[in-house]
Amino acid sequence: MTSEMNCVLCKSNNVELLFETKDYFLTQEPFSIYRCVDCNYAFTHPIPPINQLEKYYNSNDYLSHTASEKGLLNKLYQLLRAINLRRKEVIISTYSDPGELLDIGCGTGEFLNYCQSRNWSVTGVEPNQKARQFAMEAYNLTVYPEEKLTQLPNEFYDTITLWHVLEHVPDFNERINQIKKLTKPDGTILLALPNIDSPDAKKYGGFWAGLDVPRHLHHFSPTAISKLARLHKLDLVKSIPMKMDAYYVSLLSEKYLKNKIPFLNAAINGFKSNRIASNSNNFSSMIYVLKKSKS
């Protein structure tokens, strides 16, 4: 235990070291993962200075910022992304007819482009200049840099989505407050996040690719998200599994372990993770559907 750090979610100082890891994707720098015993929120330590975070994304292999189909991993990522586009649009349409959609961290814009073809009025926010430029030029989308977020109209959007984004944001509490202001009173917020309590996370430990330190500053679980929702007076309407993530994250984890048969091991471990998770709805990644509390 350590009393030197407080949990930014529940303010407790009951924080423990979960395990040591490193930036297996890019720099190989060592980092630690600490977890709050009281609310189960976990975080990367040390967090690099904000003005140095960008360097950890400066790679042509950082998949959320590329539309490349070169290489097997890129092709697999693009295939899974294409499959997920329709599913994501079906999910958001469950909670709202096509209306004003804001996708924060929209990357190269494929999701917004698909939703636009399904009669949504779409806007994106993307901090990466190269990805933002691609989205605007390839799909003729309106995509703003991150600093524009505070200038968007309040209570304007029917749906706001953050697909694997909140874990990257230095101050997630501030970001949730911003999103609440932008959402209509009956609007919907959808957060997709890696789940540090999932079976595959527990199997791979410090090698779990869902950690992705230090790009992922925060590591959420369903318990922590429930706490986050209550803190910000949001109702957690539903938690939806992202079952394909167990296979993809397991594959990356196997690569970090330098196993000789990564695809076979990833297929086995992804299947096992989903089978175990089905008993508790505790999958490798989860989509959390949130609405403003009426009370």
Give the pLDDT confidence of 48-88 residue by residue, as tens digits: 999 999 899 988 766 454 555 555 666 666 677 778 899 99
> What is the span of the domain harbouring residue 119?
15-292
Q: Residue 62 has what pLDDT?
A: 60
pLDDT value of position 83:
81
Helix (H, G, I), strand (E, B) or coil at 284: coil
First-last CA distance in the chain: 37
Q: Is the pLDDT of residue 4 over 80?
A: no
Measured CA to CA, the distance from residue 156 to residue 175 in angstroms comes to 16
Question: Has residue 295 got a pLDDT over 80?
Answer: no
| Percent of the chain at pLDDT exceeding 70 | 92
CATH code of 144's domain: 3.40.50.150
For residue 2, being part of any structural domain is answered with no
Helix (H) or strand (E) holding 45: strand 42-45
Q: State residue 65's pLDDT score.
A: 45
Residue 140 within any structural domain of the chain: yes
How sure is the predictor about 105, in pLDDT bands with cuts at 50, 70 and 90?
Answer: very high
Q: What is the pLDDT of residue 218?
A: 98
Q: Is residue 51 part of a domain?
A: yes
Residue 211: pLDDT band with limits 50, 70, 90: very high
Q: Which of 29-43, 65-79, 155-169, 261-275 has the lowest mean pLDDT?
A: 65-79
Specify whether the backbone of 265 is left (phi greater than 0), alpha (psi in -120 to 50) or beta.
alpha
Q: Tell me what the mean pLDDT of segment 10-20 comes to.
A: 96
Q: Is the pLDDT confidence value at 251 over 80?
A: yes
User: Is residue 135 assigned to a domain?
Assistant: yes
The answer as to whether 195 is a domain residue is yes
If you average pLDDT over every residue of the chain, what do you get?
Answer: 93
Position 46: which residue type?
P
CA-wise closest residue to 240 among 192, 196, 287, 194: 287
Percentage of residues of the chain with pLDDT beyond 90: 87
CB-based contact 225:197 (threshold 8 Å): no
Q: What is the mean pLDDT of residues 194-215?
A: 98
Average pLDDT over every residue of 206-219:
98
Predicted confidence band at 46 (pLDDT cuts at 50, 70, 90)? Answer: very high
Establish if 276 belongs to a structural domain. yes
Q: Answer yes or no: are the C-beta atoms of 196 and 44 closer than 8 Å.
A: no
Least confident of 52-66, 136-150, 164-178: 52-66
- Mean pLDDT on 227-250: 97
Residue 2: its pLDDT value, please? 43
Query: Which helix (H) or strand (E) is 184 found in, with range?
Result: strand 183-194
What is residue 26's predicted lDDT score, i.e. its pLDDT?
95
- Give the global pTM: 0.92
Average pLDDT over residues 11-32: 97
Q: Is residue 266 one of the residues assigned to a domain?
A: yes
| Preceding omega of 214 cis (within 30 degrees of 0) | yes
CA distance 243 to 136: 30
| CA dihedral angle for residue 41, residue 46, residue 49, residue 52, rounded to 10 degrees | -110
**167 found inside a domain:** yes
Total structural domains within the chain = 1
What pLDDT does 77 receive?
67
